[in-house]
């Protein structure tokens, strides 16, 4: 069970009591991210996330914040996406007040110390360098760029180094005041806590949160009439690629059939692509499919790393599986296995307080409503073979196909010829 309350200041609060655990998680989600940026401040959402941990009026240094949490063995972190930013602390339930105090202190009283901003600028640039050196990660960045081009949805969440090097404190503070307001924030507490007093505690710690109207993001423009590919030349031992199709946003009811289809294709070690590409052909060490559902965009993509000499073989084999699903559908056995897999993964996730906090918080910030696990499972169980076939015939079309590659490759024309389904 969970309970949703909107406080007088407009802050949405979700509480998830879990009597059989010893932990409690405090998660704050802000409805902002890289899609809310302009070209001049690309990467600022992520930069701000870092700076928030660098000191408050009560705890002037980052060390004081981390030391207080380390003393009780608590876990803490933050993340930035294209549409939301999150801050969380997970601790023993006896330290709920400390978790609430620190998370609220960060959100309400960060000082944005100029010296810390300068130091953190270097940290973020090294983070960008790190991920740029990870082809298995960077293919996803390239895939977004290929799909959406020069608009916020196609820009890197971490930003570009030349932009990060120029961002100033007033820009960080202005963005913070614009976006970090009560109506744009969800506070979730999941785990073991006193249900009678929890709302009073949250209201106490977050009573001074700012009010205001957050700035909205620009709508995503999608244009594609033929298959597209993008090569990033890099001397690597493997070629890494992301091959996929445009699909559905988070509000589209077809997203459930899309998730089941993704599971059948590459969601597990017994999925079609794993068996075909890895077990039978020995072309890849890692391969899998994923679904992305944002507020106004969506896709299904397959990611893999293969021998440089066998890239074409792997791409052709994956496209063949796309065609088989589109032309012949899936079997009743495959459909049942995918549903059971989805159910099992979901139920296992709900053993921890942090997963529950994320489950309800993400739905609230994205949809402004929360479906219970059993409601989602009913929608998954309702997916039929005909639903899968309809979705496959809709998305597996040349005009929606995209391929991003990283490796010692130069001629994109040879890959363009392969993109036929």
- Which residues belong to the active site? 49
Looking at the DSSP bridge assignments, the partners of residue 231 are: 405
Q: What stretch of H or E contains 304?
A: strand 298-307
* Helices 96-109 + 62-70 axis angle, to 10: 170
The two three-digit tokens of residue 325, written as one number: 């699903």
The two three-digit tokens of residue 317, written as one number: 């084999």
Q: What stretch of H or E contains 51?
A: helix 44-51
Alpha helices in 283-411 (DSSP H): 311-328, 332-349, 353-367, 373-381, 385-395
**Who contacts 172 (Cβ-Cβ below 8 Å, separation ≥6)?**
44, 47, 48, 51, 112, 117
Residues in the chain: 421
- CA torsion 112-37-157-162 (nearest 10°) is -70
CB-count burial class (<10 Å; 0-12, 13-18, 19+) for 269: exposed
Over its C-alpha atoms, the chain yields an Rg (Å, rounded) of: 23
How many Cα atoms are found within 13 Å in the side-chain-facing hemisphere of 174? 8
**Who contacts 145 (Cβ-Cβ below 8 Å, separation ≥6)?**
154, 155, 156, 230, 404
**Who contacts 414 (Cβ-Cβ below 8 Å, separation ≥6)?**
312
Residue with tokens 């031992």: 237
Distance of CA 162 to the CA centre of its chain: 24
**Who contacts 160 (Cβ-Cβ below 8 Å, separation ≥6)?**
42, 43, 128
Q: What are phi and psi of 111, to 5 degrees?
A: -95, -15
């Amino acid at each position: 069970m969970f309970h949703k309350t909107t406080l007088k200041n407009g802050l949405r609060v979700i509480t998830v009591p879990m009597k059989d655990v010893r932990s409690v998680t405090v998660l704050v989600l802000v409805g902002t991210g890289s899609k809310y940026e302009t070209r001049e401040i690309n990467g600022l959402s992520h930069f701000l996330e870092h700076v928030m941990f660098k000191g408050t009026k009560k705890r002037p240094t980052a060390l004081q914040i981390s030391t207080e949490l380390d003393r009780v063995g608590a876990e803490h972190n933050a993340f930035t996406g294209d549409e939301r930013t999150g801050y969380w602390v997970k601790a023993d339930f006896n330290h709920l007040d400390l978790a609430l105090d620190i998370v609220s202190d960060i959100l309400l009283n960060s000082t944005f110390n100029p010296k810390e901003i300068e130091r953190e600028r270097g940290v973020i640039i090294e983070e960008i360098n790190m991920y740029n050196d990870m082809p298995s990660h960077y293919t996803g960045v390239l895939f977004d760029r290929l799909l959406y081009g020069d608009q916020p949805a196609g820009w890197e969440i971490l930003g570009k180094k030349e932009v990060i090097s120029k961002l100033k404190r007033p820009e960080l503070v202005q963005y913070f005041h614009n976006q970090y307001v009560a109506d744009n924030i969800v506070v979730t507490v999941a785990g073991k806590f006193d249900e009678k007093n929890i709302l009073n505690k949250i209201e106490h710690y977050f009573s001074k949160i700012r009010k205001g109207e957050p700035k909205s993001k620009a709508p995503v423009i999608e244009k594609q009439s033929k298959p597209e590919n993008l090569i990033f030349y890099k001397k690597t031992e493997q070629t890494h690629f992301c091959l996929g199709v445009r699909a559905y946003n988070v509000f589209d009811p077809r997203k459930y059939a899309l998730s089941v289809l993704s599971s059948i294709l590459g969601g597990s070690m017994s999925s079609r692509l794993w068996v075909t590409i890895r077990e039978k052909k020995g072309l890849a060490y890692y391969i899998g499919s994923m679904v992305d559902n944002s507020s106004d965009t969506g896709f299904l993509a397959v990611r893999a790393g293969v021998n440089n000499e066998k890239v074409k073989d792997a791409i052709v084999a994956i496209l063949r599986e796309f065609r088989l699903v589109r032309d012949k559908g899936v079997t009743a056995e495959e459909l049942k296995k995918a549903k059971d897999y989805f159910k099992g993964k979901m139920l296992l996730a709900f053993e921890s307080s942090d997963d529950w906090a994320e489950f309800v918080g993400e739905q609230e910030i994205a949809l402004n409503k929360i479906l219970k696990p059993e409601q989602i499972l009913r929608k998954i169980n309702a997916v039929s073979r005909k639903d899968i076939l309809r979705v496959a015939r809709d998305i597996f079309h040349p005009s929606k196909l995209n391929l991003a590659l990283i490796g010692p490759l130069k001629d994109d024309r040879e890959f363009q010829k392969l993109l036929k389904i």
